[in-house]
């Protein structure tokens, strides 16, 4: 099991050895391979949400670990709806 932890300007994922947020000054092994340090502003509380962007490497590792598919860009409506089968020309 993994949890998210904001540190050093990004929201990283880490193994849930410690539940909840870590104390300021603590370091942790993020899934992306870095070992960021938790700052004073990274302490999570209900009145102070985490606003830093998600670490893309941690996001990928997190999805692989939990079997969650990667997000896909919007591909729009299916082209199958534009079938030409009913359209025919009569020549002569
Ligand atoms: Zn990370």
Q: Which domains does the chain have, with CATH numbers?
A: 2-66 (2.30.30.990)
Determine the distance separating the centroid of ligand 1 and the alpha carbon of 83, expressed in angstroms. 46
- pLDDT classification of 56: cutoffs 50, 70, 90: very high
Distance CA 6, CA 38 (A): 7
Per-residue pLDDT at 88: 47
Determine the distance separating the centroid of ligand 1 and the alpha carbon of 43, expressed in angstroms. 17
Determine the distance separating the centroid of ligand 1 and the alpha carbon of 75, expressed in angstroms. 28
Residue 70 has pLDDT above 50, yes or no: yes
Determine the distance separating the centroid of ligand 1 and the alpha carbon of 7, expressed in angstroms. 9
pLDDT cut 90: percent of the chain above it: 42
Report yes or no: 21 and 38 within 8 Å, Cβ to Cβ. yes
How many CA atoms does the CB half-sphere of 6 hold within 13 Å?
14
Residue 89 has pLDDT above 70, yes or no: no
Report yes or no: 13 and 55 within 8 Å, Cβ to Cβ. yes
The strand ranges marked E within 1-92 are 2-7, 10-15
């Amino acid at each position: 099991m993994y949890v998210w932890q904001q540190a050093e300007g990004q929201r990283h994922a880490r193994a849930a050895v410690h539940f909840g947020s870590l104390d300021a000054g603590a370091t942790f092994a993020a899934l992306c391979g870095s070992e960021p340090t938790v700052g004073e502003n990274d302490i999570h509380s209900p009145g102070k949400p985490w606003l830093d962007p998600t670490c893309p490497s941690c996001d990928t590792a997190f999805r692989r670990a939990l079997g969650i598919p990667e997000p896909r860009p919007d591909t729009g409506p299916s082209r199958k709806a534009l079938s030409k089968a009913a359209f025919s020309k009569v020549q002569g």
